Amino acid sequence: MHIVCSHCLAINRIPEDKSHTQAKCGKCQQAAYSSSPVELTDASFYRYIEKNDLPVIVDFWASWCGPCKAMAPVFTNIAKQSEELLFAKVNTEQAQQVSADASIRSIPTLIFFLHGKEIDRVSGGLSESQLKSWIMQCLQKLG
């Protein structure tokens, strides 16, 4: 399995018999896996979503967006509970190229990626139960 370090973006190969949640980055020696959402930029976005072998759920948000602020703690809480998924956030005001490439028309928008390919998306603020339900639907699409 390959995990992109949440600190330095180095790609780490995790042996099958090892847990990715305990892995240290070979480059920066910090924890390669983060249970908290990783802040992505125009520069880091594609490497993170394309090179990770785990699905990545990205929250596209903005600082002025009320529903974004309301959903942020829910998103972080679900991230801490989910070891088989990676969570990331993209500030649409700062990462304008990525936001345009992803055709973000309303915020918050969540996109579920696997190996850089969009599997599903949902727009609007979600409650914890709605977010969990959407994630389960996305995982079912993976088969």
Instruction: State the average pLDDT over residues 51-60.
Output: 97
Instruction: Out of 5, 25, 68, 138, pick the active-site residue.
Output: 68
Write out pLDDT tens, residues 57-70: 999 999 999 999 99
Could you tell me the pTM of the whole model?
A: 0.96
Among 100, 121, 118, residue whose Cα is nearest residue 110: 121
Instruction: Out of 5, 25, 65, 138, pick the active-site residue.
Output: 65
- CA dist 109 and 131 (Å) reads 12
Concerning whether 65 is annotated as a catalytic residue, the answer is yes
The three-state (H, E, C) secondary structure of the chain, written as one string = CEEECCCCCCEEECCCCCCHHHCECCCCCCECCCCCCEEECCCCHHHHHHHCCCCEEEEEECCCCHHHHHHHHHHHHHHHHCCCCEEEEEECCCCHHHHHHCCCCCCCEEEEEECCEEEEEEECCCCHHHHHHHHHHHHHHHC
Q: Report whether 58 contacts 88 (CB < 8 A).
A: yes
Average pLDDT, the chain: 96
- CA dist 139 and 143 (Å) reads 7
pLDDT category, 87, cuts 50, 70, 90?
very high
Concerning whether 68 is annotated as a catalytic residue, the answer is yes
CA distances from 84 to 33, 36, 53 (A): 11, 13, 10
pLDDT category, 7, cuts 50, 70, 90?
very high
Domains (range + CATH), the chain:
1-33 (no CATH), 34-142 (3.40.30.10)
- Per-residue pLDDT, 143: 80
